[in-house]
Structure 1
Amino acid sequence: MRKRIVCILVCMLFVTSAFGVMSYGKVVKTAREISTINESSIKFREETYSHVFAKITPLDEKIFITNILQPAVVITSPEDGAVVTDPHLTVLGYASDEAGMNYWEWEWHYQGGSYSNSSYFETAEYVEFKIDIYGLHPGWNLVIVRFKNIYGSMGEDSVNVTYNPPDDQPPTVTIDSPENGATVTNPHITVTGLVTDNVGVVSIGAKQKWSEGQKETSSTIPPTTYYPFEWDFDLYDGWNEITIYAEDAAGNKGE
């Protein structure tokens, strides 16, 4: 009887151990499954982190990219190198930047001086601008326009125009010979003299009047600021009035 009880206890112990081993094996298996899942999770997280890390820009490259991604500034009018005669200049253009801009400035330089202005504005990706300058200085006039984005990067464009003030000075005509009021016996004379102009003479002419009529002639010449002339005339009996006149490129006439 005792042997049977001992045998039963031994069997029960064996079965319990077996279940323990099976349970332990299950735990180990479960642990491996968890380990496998964790490894996959870790791998996914590593891939995600690597993907994000690839978008991080080192400081030196960031400075480089910032320098490239600056506002695009375009002056559409006037054309660079234009020659103008109106002292009022209007500069038109636009600026764009995907990051957004909030500051602009412009400068006007000319021989002997300069002027500048600047201001902040509400952040915008695209703006159009208009600058009115009154009183251009003779010669070159340089206008520079700059825009700055929210990261502090600046872009610019410039235009250089030449201002030629309107010509309102007529040519100066001087007759050297003969003297005014002279009395001559030769019916053929040569009138000599000089024409000068601050910009350039483009034509010269002569009018002759006498007691019974008049006649006139003119011709174009290559633009010049200095033009000596010699003009032959046939005189009529009595008084003869001879006038030499010249015209410059602006249409001003002098005699």
Structure 2
Amino acid sequence: MTLSTSAPPVPAVVRPAPVVELRDVTKSYAGGVHALRGVSLTVEAGELLAIVGPSGSGKSTMLHVIGTLDAPTAGTVRVAGYDVGRLSDAQLSALRSRHIGFVFQHFQLAAGRDAVDNVADGLLYAGVARKERRDRARAALERVRLGHRLDHRPAELSGGEKQRVAIARALAGEPDLLLADEPTGALDTASGEVVMELLHELNAAGTTVCVITHDNEIADSLPRRVRFRDGEIVSDFPAQQASPR
């Protein structure tokens, strides 16, 4: 019997799909307003990046398109490997609940609900039982260092603590992608630094984090900066690939 001297075939390396992939995306409104002009962008799993630009540059529209809250006029948007243009409204809702977490500038917390309930309520539409919702809410609040504020309502929390509750609410759904819209915009400098430190920690633990901001100092503190002007990407530095998780 003769043994083959040829090497066995090397199996192909299968890379995970990008968390976000936009190709030639435009968004236009009545009156000839073009919020996005042929934007292409890829975000790999595990990245930490800023989408930065002045007011009216198109970055907020990008947030809504990436978060599947708004549909583009033209072009292709893929999130977690799904072509969102091919999904029904119910499927889009399911995609958001399973893959995307949102953090907004003004927290959007219910005034009459304590921290646990505010976080747990974010799982209402994910089909999670009440006890599990509350267990996951407590765990998320512990993760953002608010274990001592579980029964406090928003009026009893500082601005930085409210934002951390909002981050915990986003994290409770275990999203692939966290979209943070001006997360320090309503905070003092010290509280803003705590929130940014937390976003860095979450990214280091494996969450893909995209920060939408007009603040160049915040943008420059992140590994990747995608700069917008007049609905277009004018720079993407450095356009690096993150290692698969």
TM-score (norm 1): 0.18
Q: Which has the larger radius of gyration?
A: 1
Instruction: Point out the structure with the larger helix share.
Output: 2
Instruction: Point out the structure with the larger strand share.
Output: 1
Q: Which has the higher contact order (CA 8 A, sep 6+)?
A: 2
TM-score (norm 2): 0.18
